[in-house]
Amino acid sequence: PDNVAGKRPDRATLVYTQRCKEAWKDVPVILGGIEASLRRTAHYDYWSDTVRRSVLVDSKADMLMFGNGERPLVEVAHRLAMGEPISEIRDVRNTAIIVKEALPGWSGVDSTRLDTPGKIDPIPHPYGEDLPCADNKPVAPKKQEAKAVTVQPPRPKPWEKTYVLLPSFEKVKGDKVLYAHASRILHHETNPGCARALMQKHGDRYVWINPPAIPLSTEEMDSVFALPYKRVPHPAYGNARIPAYEMIRFSVNIMRGCFGGCSFCSITEHEGRIIQSRSEDSIINEIEAIRDTVPGFTGVISDLGGPTANMYMLRCKSPRAEQTCRRLSCVYPDICPHMDTNHEPTINLYRRARDLKGIKKILIASGVRYDIAVEDPRYIKELATHHVGGYLKIAPEHTEEGPLSKMMKPGMGSYDRFKELFDT
């Protein structure tokens, strides 16, 4: 508040959890939010320049909810209300808990060390003299004996009831290669349709991470955003000016998730790769609510976006592929042929929003993913004509192929094409 820094302690999740435990020893404490989500396994801590244990272990909380928590929060709240101890709630997606051993009925894949090449047979020389040669002698057919037909039951999917054992905290804290290996596994296990549980040893206990929750449908997203939010800071702040609130005061979130998979970004590990979009009506209702109820509104919506401005309603055209894909990015090194890049829903939303009574301007302040924007030039024209307030936010990140490839970002060809379309 009032631009005064230093009020929030470092590692706030640890500090606040400890204070809660001191005040209410018997009340379950559940971690959530971006800090807990990204530190659910052993992680690098830039304050101490060391690898620290999972925040769940250090905080001594009872459970951790990662990502967007509507589904797990509702389920856990109902089960607690029915009298189930939190120590027995172990199977909720999007949660992490502390265990002494793997959960019953689960089979494990040991990935605590890197695979090394085994014995490789030499390539046979095509003109070698010791190779057996075919002859023209007739071969009598073997008599096939009649056998009973065995009907095999359906095989379970390979990821169901399967967990991956990560390198332990004790290993990754001193081995950068194993740390990278554990991180790679975490990145690959983010698809709710095929993700496996994860397990990482910390001392004599394990952090058990259940698979991600199933994404919310459009109807469920609408119900979440229709809750009676006050749209103002907590009254405890009084008249203090809060810069973070000023930035989002007149903005509207239209979707969640990002399938870009940039290697430096945390959005996919927090919100997932599958886009979850609100309906047009839900978004329009919020714009009207801001217009009618938020103090100081002058007719300008500062942003109509989300993690990425132009991924609204975009998703995989193949439901089967979407459920089983383990690609880290749907757009790198090239846009997946299964990805729907039709921006028509976004264009229709923009047009409907700016036609509302009392709305003077709809700005797009979220970053535009220009490599998918060039797939639909209509969107670029709509954006440049009606929704740019002087500058447009894009993120090339670099100009050279080497760094761009490490970041899993598109080459400058996409940028040049976007600029050409934008300027015209």
Are residues 382 and 413 part of one domain? yes
Are residues 366 and 253 part of one domain? yes
pLDDT of residue 146: 72
Are residues 183 and 292 part of one domain? no
Q: Which amino acid is at 46?
A: Y
pLDDT of residue 108: 92
CATH code at 261?
A: 3.30.750.210
pLDDT of residue 77: 97
Who contacts 1 (Cβ-Cβ below 8 Å, separation ≥6)?
Answer: 7, 237, 240, 241, 242
Residue 348 in any domain: the answer is yes
Residue 415 in any domain: the answer is yes
Is the CB of residue 332 less than 8 Å from the CB of residue 261? yes
Q: Which two tokens stand for residue 129?
A: 């003299």
Residues in the chain: 424
Q: Tell me the per-residue pLDDT of 79-118, one tens digit each, with 9 for 90 and over.
A: 999 999 999 999 999 999 999 999 999 999 999 988 776 7
The predicted model gives 64-91 an average pLDDT of 96
DSSP symbols for 101-131: SPPTT-EEEE-SS-------PPPPPTT-TTS
pLDDT of residue 417: 94
The pTM of the full predicted model, rounded to 2 decimals, is: 0.87
Burial class (CB in 10 A: 0-12, 13-18, 19+), 33: middle
Are residues 200 and 276 part of one domain? no
Who contacts 187 (Cβ-Cβ below 8 Å, separation ≥6)?
Answer: 268, 269, 328
Q: Is 80 exceeded by the pLDDT of residue 210? A: yes
Rounded distance, CA 412 to CA 404, Å? Answer: 9
Rounded distance, CA 201 to CA 166, Å? Answer: 8
Choosing from 145, 174, 209, the residue where a domain stops is: 209
Residue 416 in any domain: the answer is yes
Q: How many domains does the chain have?
A: 2
Residue 128 in any domain: the answer is no
Are residues 234 and 98 part of one domain? no
Who contacts 252 (Cβ-Cβ below 8 Å, separation ≥6)?
Answer: 283, 286, 287, 290, 301, 303, 304, 305
Are residues 171 and 243 part of one domain? no
Residue 78 in any domain: the answer is yes
Are residues 51 and 77 part of one domain? yes
Are residues 332 and 231 part of one domain? yes
Residue 267 in any domain: the answer is yes
Choosing from 189, 209, 229, the residue where a domain stops is: 209
Peptide bond into 403 cis (omega under 30): no
The predicted model gives 45-65 an average pLDDT of 96
pLDDT of residue 258: 96
Domain holding 63, by residue range, is: 12-111+159-209
Residue 127 in any domain: the answer is no
Q: Tell me the per-residue pLDDT of 258-267, one tens digit each, with 9 for 90 and over.
A: 999 999 999 9
Q: Which helix (H) or strand (E) holds 64?
A: strand 63-65
Give the bridge partners for 368, in sequence order: 394
Choosing from 185, 209, 233, the residue where a domain stops is: 209
CA 78, chain centre distance (Å): 25
Residue 401 in any domain: the answer is yes
Are residues 396 and 321 part of one domain? yes
Of the CA atoms within 13 Å of residue 32, those in its CB half-sphere come to: 14
- Phi and psi dihedrals of 335, rounded to 5? -65, 130
